[in-house]
Amino acid sequence: MTTRVRRPWLLMALLFASVAVTSLALGTGQVGLRALGGALDALCLYELSVVTAAIAISNARAELPPRAFAGESVRIAVEIATRARGVGKWERRAELSLEWEGHREPSDAVNAVAWRKWREGCRVELEACSLRRGRYALSAVRVLWADAFGLVAVERRLPVQRAIAVYPKLVPVDDWVGEIEQRIRAQGLTAREADMAPTGGVAPYRPGERLSLMHWPTSLRTGDLYAREMAAEGLRPWRIVPWIRPGDPPHAAERALSVVLSIFVYGRRRGLPMECVIPAGQGHRPAWRRCRTLDEAGVALADIDLCVGTAPRGADVPQWPAAVYVTAGTWQGREPTRGGRALVVSAADG
């Protein structure tokens, strides 16, 4: 918590002038000097009360939603507590501003829309309009307390620890999902995975199973036929991958991230198996982060730096089954659809 008084020399000069004129008025007894001294005393006491009221502010507390989507507006509630009662009457002379870590703000404008006061402080509701994608941490609330004449102002910095993740904007993707689903089914990419997922256990052999699954040690020991137990059958999940080059236009790259999250959300709502796969790291073999929930996918997409991109130059393109690569423009570089194992969707086509 820090306090800074703007133009403190003016307050000191006013104080000295008040003392000097009052002493002179008491010594001479002139009515004019007494009136001037009384006015200076009243003004000095008023300015000192403004400074005292600002210093009496003890702490601040902020409430903001943990997540939102780009382009939306959110309400941020700030409660200011004070050690002096009745300070809420100064609300018209106070200005609030939010301080975010890293000098990145989630929106261009934050406006006060409601102000409610009580004895121990006040509550201000701020509206942040047209949010930008990213993760933001609120570090402090700045309160600027000024007098009615604009002579002296006191700035208080009150630490606050809050964070908000702004996910990419959701866009209509009904036609895209329908087309992708048809192409995946046409290519047979939703085959069952049971034949490639052994559990490590054994189960009685069922007629019709492949002989390669036979577990001969158990069969010879028990005298009955046993086979390796396989995992429960399930459809391969769609892997939605943002493939953004460092040189892609920012607006096109942002739209590609929106398409990725929109396809993921739309597919999950329809009960389709979905994974949002985010490339991480540099080099020819980047690491891959699999996201299976909205919050996991939204946070991962919010953290993407468009200057770095998600597709390092020269990186190998994994040939996953049922993978959908979403690009910011036309595909450049190595084609990922070799063998019909992946699909490429350009966000510029929508």
**Angle made by CA atoms 216, 217, 223, in degrees to the nearest 5:** 80
Note down pLDDT in tens along the chain; length 350 residues: 688 777 888 888 888 888 888 888 777 767 787 788 888 888 888 888 888 878 888 888 899 999 999 999 999 999 888 876 655 455 567 788 899 988 788 998 888 888 887 777 788 899 999 999 999 999 999 888 888 777 888 888 889 999 999 999 999 988 778 877 777 776 654 444 444 455 556 777 766 667 777 888 888 878 888 787 665 445 567 888 898 888 888 899 999 999 999 999 998 888 878 888 887 655 555 667 888 899 999 999 999 988 887 876 655 666 666 788 888 876 554 444 444 456 888 877 65
- Asked if 111 and 97 touch (Cβ cutoff 8 Å), the reply is no
Output the pLDDT for position 193: 43
Rg (CA), the chain: 33
Q: At what angle do helices 31-55 and 8-28 cross, to 10 degrees?
A: 150
pLDDT 10s digits, 190-222: 444 444 455 556 777 766 667 777 888 888 878
Nearest alpha-carbon partner for 153 in 143, 142, 145, 141: 145
Q: Render pLDDT for 98-129 as a digit per residue (tens, 0 to 9).
A: 999 887 889 988 888 888 877 777 888 999 99
Instruction: Using the CB atoms, write b or e for 75-106: b if 16+ within 10 Å.
Output: ebebbbbbeeeebbebbebbebebebeeeebb
The pLDDT of residue 257: 93
Residue reference for tokens 């300015």: 47
How far, rounded to the nearest angstrom, does the alpha carbon of residue 201 sit from its chain's CA centroid? 44
Longest dimension (CA), the chain: 125
